[in-house]
Amino acid sequence: MVHRKPWFDRQWTFDLPVTAAPGIIERLRGTPARVEHRLRGLPAERLTTRHHDHWSIQENVGHLWDLEPLWLARIDDIAVGHLTLQAADLENHKTWDAHHNERSLADLESGFAAARGELVTQLENADEADWLRSAKHPRLDVNMRLLDLAFFVAEHDDHHLATISDLLRLGD
pLDDT of residue 3: 84
pLDDT of residue 44: 94
Query: For 171, how many CA atoms within 13 A lie in the half-sphere containing its CB?
Result: 18
Residue 170 has pLDDT above 90, yes or no: no
CA dihedral sign of residues 101, 72, 92, 12: positive
User: Mean of the pLDDT values across residues 150-162?
Assistant: 98
Specify burial of residue 42 (Cβ count, 10 A radius: 0-12, 13-18, 19+).
middle
Residue 4 has pLDDT above 90, yes or no: no
Please state, for a pLDDT cut of 70, what percent of the chain lies above it: 99
**Sequence-ordered alpha helix ranges (H) in the chain:** 21-39, 44-48, 57-66, 68-80, 93-97, 105-124, 128-132, 146-170
pLDDT of residue 50: 95
Residue 171 has pLDDT above 80, yes or no: no
Query: For 8, how many CA atoms within 13 A lie in the half-sphere containing its CB?
Result: 7
**SS3 labels along 86-101:** CCCCCCCHHHHHCCHH
What is the band of 172 on the pLDDT scale with cuts at 50, 70, 90? low
pLDDT in tens, 101-126: 999 999 999 999 999 999 999 999 99
User: Mean of the pLDDT values across residues 143-162?
Assistant: 98
What is the band of 29 on the pLDDT scale with cuts at 50, 70, 90? very high
What is the band of 62 on the pLDDT scale with cuts at 50, 70, 90? very high
Q: For the chain, give the mean pLDDT.
A: 96
3-state secondary structure of 82: coil
User: Mean of the pLDDT values across residues 61-70?
Assistant: 98
